[in-house]
Structure 1
């Protein structure tokens, strides 16, 4: 199953430059990398990245994280995938831009 991480352009650039990252500031504070399912990604973008341009959507294979991926309750009791280790470039299945059009992030087909 694919899960998704949204990064700002500078966070994505840092991951590319360093080969791994502890994540965005919120990830570092919380001690894990926040990710979302396909169903949760749009709401995550709207809630945490409203109005931000230059975002990048990263697709990750959930099975590749083994015990380092935990499904934990968050917004409204939904279970979200949290990665308890650094995110590595080798974890990325694909990356695509999330352009902002008329205030809404335009997602690729996640089906």
Structure 2
């Protein structure tokens, strides 16, 4: 399994946990896919799109999602996008990322 990562707000994760499935944020639904990152893209993505905000980092087993994972290029690189839903069984870890005032506190290193 090659994990992919998704950043979301705490409320969105709590709603997904209650529903049993994660369907993405308003932005994801507007774009038609769930935006994800590789391990080396997480810090930059968090800083660019969520400055000043505490976050949840979902580690996702891409083989367990409902739908297709496509690797798509944008000006900042090639990113994984989930065209479908993420059942809770596909989420292998959930980490709280606290905003320190300057950056998000990511407590571990990625492979």
Q: What is the TM-score of this pair, normalised by structure 2? A: 0.90
Which residue of structure 1 aligns with residue 82 of structure 2? 83
Q: CA deviation at 1:73?
A: 0.8
**Per the alignment, in what secondary structure is the counterpart of residue 53 of structure 2?**
coil
Determine the structure 1 residue equivalent to 2:8: 7
The 2-side partners of 1:57 and 1:89 are apart by 14
1:61 aligned residue: 61
The structure carrying a bigger helix percent of its residues is 1
Residue 20, structure 1, aligned to residue 28, structure 2: no
Q: Structure 1: where are the runs of 5+ without partners?
A: none
| Aligned positions, number | 109
- In structure 2, list runs of 5 or more residues that go unmatched: none
Q: 1 or 2, which has the higher strand percentage?
A: 2
Normalised TM-score (structure 1): 0.90
Runs of 4+ in 1 over 3 A off after TM superposition: 63-67
Distance in 2 between the 1:2 and 1:75 partners? Answer: 22
